[in-house]
Chains A and B, each alone.
Chain A
Amino acid sequence: MNIPKLPLGRMVEKLEEWLTLYFGPVFDFIHSVIGGMVVGIETLLTFLPSLVVILLITALAYWIGKWRLGLFALIGLLLIDNLGLWGPSMQSLALVLASSVLAVLIGVPIGILCAQSGKARNIITPVLDFMQTMPAFVYLLPAVSFFSLGVVPGVIASIIFAIPPTIRLTNLGIRQVSEELVEAADAFGSTPKQKLFKLQLPIAMPTIMAGINQTIMLSLSMVVISSMIGAQGVGAYVYRAVSQAKTGAGFEAGLAIVVLAILLDRLTQNVLKIKHK
């Protein structure tokens, strides 16, 4: 028996056309919000002379991770500046920060929803699996057709790719709060909201932070991929170096990304420990 090929690809394209046609204004709105956000963060990072920004970030690193992280931030960022990659690095950082902030703003509430409703979790978990395993390149295309080329589809793709850990670990963190503690909160007459904010979120916080940390790392890993659809930044330097087979330039730009990655990772990992000191 010869079963004809399912027109799955064609259906997805139809859906894409239909969405572009009827939800154009919505996409335009999202475009201007995200675009404005990225530009805002970028301006904030490049408005002051690079040396001042480096010192500010170093101070932050010192406050969160003591002299070790402070020293790393100082040397690493000076290196980026010295290589002439400061501007593009800050563009990339703006992209990462914008997508991470949005991913957290969207992901934490969804994670809470998953933790509180088994039904929601059963629907959302396979969607997350899908988002994480589908190659990131594949949803660059619809993102481009909805939001045109540039940084915005890059942010969207980064959010889709990077949001699952935040959702998963928020859900996990809340579910891991021991039964007895939840009973105790209930037994003293907490409302669901009081239970969430006074008990579940504070106790889940380290787990949620681990999720946020992963989200930031994943969105950083999207920097190069985003550059393929026109997002500016240090990712574009890597992409160009690779396509032109310039090993040295590729190494320099790659090193800038590594410095940013380590810095973001250590900062988010240690931010919770401050409170306990």
Chain B
Amino acid sequence: MPILEVKQLTKIFGQDARKGLTLLEQGWSKEKIAKEAKLTVGVNQADFHINEGEIFVIMGLSGSGKSTLVRLLNRLIDPTAGRILFRGQDVVKMNAEELRQFRRKNIGMVFQKFGLFPHRTVLGNAEYGLEVQGVDKKKRRELAQQALELVGLGGWENHRPDQLSGGMQQRVGLARGLANDPDVLLMDEAFSALDPLIRKDMQQELLELQDRVKKTIVFITHDLDEALRIGDRIALMKDGVIVQIGTPEEILIQPANKYVERFVEDVDLSKVLTAAHVMKQPEMIRPERGPRVALQLMRDSGVSSLYVTDKEMKLLGVITADDAARAIKEQQSITDVMRREIPQVRPDVLLNELFELMAESHLPLAVVDERDRLKGIVIKGAVLSALAGNAVPEGGLA
């Protein structure tokens, strides 16, 4: 169920914006309208929906209209035409008071340059949204405090924003956005002003935070790596138009047109694809079935080793054909001879982090989830093939 539905949303800047609308309908290009009608098309008939609880990334280069688009969503900029439905209610039609309530209760925002109030303390910033709602002091302090702790800023309440590093300042921005518990959080290039390393940390933390608070997040960025890393779905913008909407994989593997293709061609796939994308189904056996069955299974499926798992699919070890033969000869069980030292990775580990592990081991990597259950294995060939840009092996696409 979409929480936000955007229909034919258009913003034209200039004196006679309505005229520009007619021109757009007649199929004039953005350049032509700019040149001949002296109007700037910010966003051109955007159509999309955002699902409850997803991270929706709007990505584009500067001037693509992404910042305008996000400001249309909470009407910091009023649209020229189109509709924005929040749970079925048209935001465009709201009067000043309804809009204020919508901004107070339903939609928060985090800004590129943090937008922190320099004359207020960290706590004073975090509680701002609640303060303007008229929440009483004790209650709002408590909620703001919780929000600060959520972003890891407990203990910094009484500092001024300018005493904090960039990363910490943006945490304050995030806490302020979260304190009044909105349904949707707009993040306008929220991490773009941060150093690359801090930025990565913040992306990771945002994902972890999202797991806990389950907000719907609309994230604006010009950085494709960032979009691919955090987006559940990505909308790619160019010249005010949404060129493609899809999951990161769809954008990478099936670019909608030449523009998207050019955009994504330089992407380092090893920083985007994860173990889950390239892993394949392993051959498995339970220990109680014995070495003879193991050997037979290997012969039948043409492999030289089997992964040993228990009833819950928990990975116990790996047994090779030599091990199985030895067990038969020496009358031992699978658990006696299997190797327990297997390189393991989680499904969400990026390919570029797998290289070293793969180089050190001649066995395929075992992909296990947080409860040690075997999900698949990664062999060298599959990684190379994925990096070469070939579509990912069977079942790899999420």
With A180-B111, A183-B76 known to touch, is A188 a contact of B132 (CB < 8 Å)? yes
Min CB distance A46 to B, Å, is 39
Tell me the B95-113 residues at the A interface (CB within 8 Å): 99-105, 107-109, 111-113
Binary contact readout B44-65 vs A (1 if CB under 8 angstroms, 0 otherwise): 0000000000000000000000
Query: Which of A180, A181, A183, A198 has a CB less than 8 Å from the CB of B132?
Result: A198
Q: Report the Cα distance A190→B99, complex, angstroms.
A: 10
CB distance from A191 to the nearest CB of B (A): 7
Q: Nearest A residue to B128 by beta-carbon distance? A: A188
Tell me the complex Cα distance, A189–B109, Å.
Answer: 11
Which B residue's beta carbon lies closest to that of A186?
B76
| Contact present for A189 and B100 (CB under 8 Å) | yes
Partner of A198, one of B101, B102, B105, B131: B131
Chain B proximity of A159: nearest CB distance (Å): 30
Contact segment of B6-14, B114-122, B200-208, B220-228? B114-122
B180 within 8 A of A: yes
Cβ contact of B111, chosen from A184, A198, A202, A203, cutoff 8 A: A184
Which residue of the partner chain, among A178, A189, A190, A199, contacts B101 with CB atoms under 8 Å?
A189
Specify which of B99, B107, B111, B118 is in contact with A183 (CB 8 Å cutoff): B111
Contact with B along A23-45 (1 / 0, CB 8 A): 00000000000000000000000
Q: Which residues of A contact B347 (CB under 8 A)?
A: none
Query: With A and B bound together, what is the CA distance between A91 and B133 in angstroms?
Result: 49
Interface residue? A270 (CB, 8 A): no
Question: B95 → chain A, closest Cβ, in Å?
Answer: 13
**Interface status of B216 (Cβ within 8 A of chain A):** no
B317 to chain A, nearest CB (A): 55
In the complex, chain B residues whose CB is within 8 Å of the CB of A188: 103-104, 108-109, 128-129, 132, 176, 180
Within 8 A of A (CB), among B165-186: 176, 180, 186
* A199–B120 alpha-carbon span in the complex (Å): 9
Question: Inside 8 A of A11's CB, which chain B residues have their CB?
Answer: none
B80 within 8 A of A: no
Query: Is B74 an interface residue, CB under 8 A from the partner?
Result: yes
Which residues of chain A are near B100, meaning CB under 8 Å?
189-191
Contact of A181 with B117 in the complex, beta carbons under 8 Å: yes
Q: Are B132 and A184 in contact (CB under 8 A)?
A: no
Contact B132 A203 (CB under 8 A): no
A245 at the interface (CB under 8 A from B): no
Contact with A along B261-290 (1 / 0, CB 8 A): 000000000000000000000000000000
What residues on A are CB-neighbors of B113 within 8 Å? 178, 180
Contact of B76 with A189 in the complex, beta carbons under 8 Å? no
A198 to B120, CA, bound (A): 9
- Is A180 within 8 A of B112, CB to CB? yes
A186–B77 Cα gap in the complex (Å)?
A: 11
Q: Digit string of A175-205 for contact with B (CB within 8 Å is 1, else 0)?
A: 0001011011111111100100011001100
Shortest distance between the CB of B296 and any CB in chain A (Å): 66
A184 to B74, CA, bound (A): 11
Q: Are A184 and B109 in contact (CB under 8 A)?
A: yes
Task: Give chain B residues whose Cβ lies under 8 Å from the Cβ of A187.
Answer: 74, 76, 103, 107-109, 186
Q: Are B103 and A189 in contact (CB under 8 A)?
A: yes
- Which residues of B lie under 8 Å from residue A181 when comparing CB positions? 115, 117
Contacts of B74 in A (CB 8 A): 187
Residues of A within 8 A of B103 (CB): 186-189
Rounded to whole angstroms, the CA-CA distance of A124 and B109 in the bound complex is: 36
Report whether B132 and A190 are in contact in the complex, using a CB–CB cutoff of 8 Å: yes
A188 to B133, CA, bound (A): 9
| Assembly CA distance A256 to B186 (angstroms) | 60
Give a binary string over B356-387; 1 marks a CB under 8 Å from any A CB, 0 the rest: 00000000000000000000000000000000
- B166 nearest CB across to chain A (Å): 15
**Is B109 a contact of A203 with CB atoms below 8 Å?**
no
The docked-state distance in angstroms from the alpha carbon of A40 to that of B28 is 71
Of A178, A184, A188, A194, most buried by chain B (CB within 10 Å of CB) is A188
Q: Which residues of B contact A184 (CB under 8 A)?
A: 109, 111, 115-117
The closest CB in chain A to the CB of B106 belongs to: A189
A182 to B132, CA, bound (A): 14
Q: Tell me how far the C-beta of A11 lies from the nearest C-beta in chain B, rounded to whole angstroms.
A: 38
B117 near A191: Cβ-Cβ < 8 Å: no
Cα A187 to Cα B119 in complex, Å, equals 18
Q: Is the CB of B133 within 8 A of A189?
A: yes
**Across the interface, which residues of B come within 8 angstroms of A180, CB to CB?**
111-115
Q: Which of A183, A189, A202 is close to B115, meaning CB atoms less than 8 Å apart?
A: A183
Q: Chain A nearest CB: distance from B216 CB in Å?
A: 16
Task: Report the Cα distance A186→B133, complex, angstroms.
Answer: 12
| 17 additional contacts (CB under 8 A) given A185-B128, A188-B103, A188-B176 | A178-B115, A180-B112, A180-B114, A181-B115, A181-B117, A183-B71, A183-B111, A183-B115, A184-B109, A184-B116, A186-B103, A187-B108, A189-B99, A189-B102, A194-B132, A198-B117, A198-B132
Question: Which positions in B face A, CB cutoff 8 Å?
Answer: 71, 74, 76, 99-105, 107-109, 111-119, 128-129, 131-133, 176, 180, 186
Q: List 13 A-B contacts (CB under 8 A).
A: A180-B111, A180-B112, A183-B71, A183-B109, A184-B111, A185-B128, A187-B103, A188-B103, A188-B104, A188-B108, A189-B101, A191-B132, A198-B128
| A-B interface, 6 closest residue pairs, ranked by CB to CB distance from nearest | A189-B104, A189-B103, A184-B115, A187-B109, A188-B129, A180-B115
